[in-house]
Amino acid sequence: MNVSEPLAGGPGQTAEAQQPLEDRVNNRSQRPTSDAFRTFMASQWAPADDSLPARDEVAGYAARRRRAISDRFPGERLIIPAGPLKVRSNDTDYRFRPHSAFAHLTGLGLDHEPDAVLILEPVDSGATDGGGHHSATLYFRPLAGRDTEQFYADARSGEFWIGARPTLAELEARLGIPTAHLDGLEAAVTKGVGAPEIGGISVRLVRKVDENLDALVDTARYNTAQDPDSLDLSKFDARDDQLAEALSELRLTKDEWEVGQMREAVAATAAGFEEIVRALPRAVAHRRGERVVEGAFFAKAREEGNDLGYETIAAAGNNATVLHWIRNNGAVRDGDLILVDAGVEAESLYTADVTRTLPVNGAFSEVQRRVYQAVLDAADAAFAAAKPGVRFREVHAAAMEVLAARLEEWGILPVPAAEALSDGGQQHRRWMPHGTSHHLGLDVHDCAQARRELYLDGELTPGMVFTIEPGLYFKAEDLAIPAEYRGIGVRIEDDILMTGDGPVNLSAALPRTPEDVEAWMASIR
């Protein structure tokens, strides 16, 4: 095509004059480009505060976690990315949240480290102050100076747009981790990569967090392979999976600082449930009352913590029988139950996970109370079964025994409870299809990459934090049950800390018995 011909994208535009597609998002800003503007923008700013912050309380705990993972992989370079910003729509991003493994090993929470990467570089044992097999460096994009164009022109990282970012020195002072500019990341990732038998360095990466890093590491492995044409990247993927597995298993037991963060998240969550009770009258009056409930909790989560730990389930009436109902667009009706599964994520990114099922008008009906009490008894049985040394799966089994017995007693179970509880039965699971417990921490379903023998088949040990959350879900369209039960969904979920003396219910401040729930709701209203 002749360059002087008009382009289809714009009448009269030539190829020389056409604006690059990636630059067009800046049109709305109408930013001046004159030298006079640039010079003026770089002048007359108050001097920056060069004082350094105190060391974060978490720094020592995070150093011990890094030492633990260092001991697992001596002699190998370990790469743990925070992850990039994620586009929500066009040129707007979601609020940033770093990958949980990155947060665990650095102690960084909040939203100020997109694209950051922690690298653990292999060293001779004992060469570092911590005595481990690696030296740590945090690669980071620091605050741009006010004499730079980035300061006012970069909507993703410029201070004029998103506020101040920490400097390299500030972050190093807070975390006790040497820092380096992100510009040096590529060299740090690829330097010396190769087969150990020929003097190269083996690399392990937390994959599927940062696509650019995945590609960079794969390219480095390919370029340094003795026979690139026969390189099997799946073998490297398996080694990377081992790193993800180890990082997940490292979080199975929480340290003292983490337990403190869990307590804070649970306390904020309890305050959020009080706001839910206050909002119920307005929810009843609104055509999408579930959204009123969702919004009441979200406001408290943002006030007291970083965000929600996960999307809130605010499920009224028959919606409560949908396990992950997050549309929350239904009505809230007098006489129904509303099941709310919600958790506040603290600024450290540790999240609570609590469920309460509430009578919308403040009083349970006879059938609602019957179902609620059965679920509560199952939760109490699971709590009683949870002791140090007990296998994780036995907590679930204790809850199932109670629920199967109640379903048999009510004439709902088509076989005796003993038969249903056998491996060849399981008919009771029609009304309780999920697990009773999962680990909890930085992720609402924490430690999800841990091996089965350490999770389901693992023994409960002091420092573990997990949920107990049995439920019964009787769908309105379920013809296998009497009509009086249809449309009732109940779940009760608490966050449990295992100690040497047994389990502690971190969420016990929220009422659990039907009588206490009714009295609590009346006192708030």
> Identity (one letter) of the amino acid at 71?
D
Digitized pLDDT (tens) for each residue of the chain, 525 residues in all: 344 433 444 444 554 568 888 777 777 777 888 999 999 999 999 988 889 999 999 999 999 999 999 999 999 999 999 999 999 998 889 999 999 999 999 999 876 789 999 999 999 876 665 668 999 999 999 878 888 888 888 888 888 888 888 899 999 999 999 999 999 999 999 999 988 877 889 999 999 999 999 999 999 998 888 788 778 889 999 999 999 999 999 999 999 999 999 999 999 999 999 999 999 999 999 999 999 999 999 999 999 999 999 999 999 999 999 999 999 999 999 999 999 999 999 999 999 999 999 999 999 999 999 999 999 999 999 999 999 999 999 999 999 999 999 999 999 999 999 999 999 999 999 999 999 999 999 999 999 999 999 999 999 999 999 999 999 999 999 999 999 999 999 999 999 999 999 999 999 999 999 999 999 999 998
Query: Using CA atoms, how far apart are residues 485 and 459, in angstroms rounded to an integer?
Result: 37
Q: State the SS3 of 178-198.
A: CEEEHHHHHHHHHCCECCHHH
- Tell me yes or no: is domain 59-250 CATH 3.40.350.10: yes
Structure tokens at 486: 């249809």
Residue 318 DSSP symbol: G
For 432, how many CA atoms within 13 A lie in the half-sphere containing its CB? 31
Q: What is the 3-state secondary structure (H, E, C) of 14-68?
A: CCCCCCCHHHHHHHHHCCCCCHHHHHHHCCCCCCCCCCCCCCCCCHHHHHHHHHH
| The CATH number of domain 256-524, selected from 3.30.160.20, 1.10.357.10, 1.10.10.10, 3.90.230.10 | 3.90.230.10
pTM of the model: 0.93
Question: Residue ranges per domain, the chain?
Answer: 59-250, 256-524
